[in-house]
Structure 1
């Protein structure tokens, strides 16, 4: 059975622009929060620990905005794995409103990287078998 990582988030005043709708960069912050929560809660790899020696940068992002989000609405944010590579993971995501209307959807590719002690050298590094086994249950099988 494929798992979908799900979190709820209420749209707050800080998220909206003068028109009263979510300013689109705030959606990207919400997506980053979702990824960070997934790593901490489901994969047991909190960003506070990752960034001591490694990183997990976004290298590709595709997003389609389907509907405006408004202050006070509760979004259900969903994330799943579409492709798991040696050092990369491509995740699909969808944010839905309280009526299950899609607000936005897309795909994000993350790469596991090693960072040298002097912080000058960053290169991809394969996920450990242990990490792959934690990611695998979220992979969608076509």
Structure 2
């Protein structure tokens, strides 16, 4: 089951043509990831980022249709794989029944030195449970 995050397209997201300027989608994606860590993993960024971080190591996105100011988007995040220090997710955005974008990305847990670290056991367990549909 996917973690869902609601995002209204705001004026600040749009270019002069009135559609979402594509880099703003990446901000929305990160907002969804941050909400996922807070709500699903109970590991909010403000706690995590005191001594660690989860940068995006790779991302591939396909834009399906434009979004406009005022559109109500739903971003749905699914965990696809859990590694020792990383996880891969699939995120799809839609407005009603219309697909707007889909992206696959890999997050890596890094410590204070910026080097990868193993997920803490409770977080790895939650990620695995979510991936397997138990979370």
| Fold shared per TM-score above 0.5 | yes
* Counterpart position of 2:104: 107
Cα RMSD for the two superposed structures: 1.1
Aligned length: 133
Q: Which has the larger radius of gyration?
A: 1
> Structure 2 stretches of 5 or more lacking a match?
none
Deviation at 1:122, TM superposition (A): 1.5
The TM-score normalised by the length of structure 2 is 0.95
Deviation at 1:71, TM superposition (A): 0.7
* Counterpart position of 1:10: 8
Matches of 1:140 and 1:133, distance apart in 2: 10
> Structure 1 stretches of 5 or more lacking a match?
116-120
Check 1:17–1:140 CA distance in 2 against 1; reply closer, same or farther (3 A cut). farther
Deviation at 1:138, TM superposition (A): 2.4
Deviation at 1:140, TM superposition (A): 5.6
Q: Does the 8 Å CA contact 1:4/1:80 hold for their aligned counterparts?
A: yes
Asked if residue 138 in structure 1 is aligned to residue 135 in structure 2, the reply is no
Matches of 2:38 and 2:27, distance apart in 1: 16
| Secondary structure in 1 matching 2:111 | strand
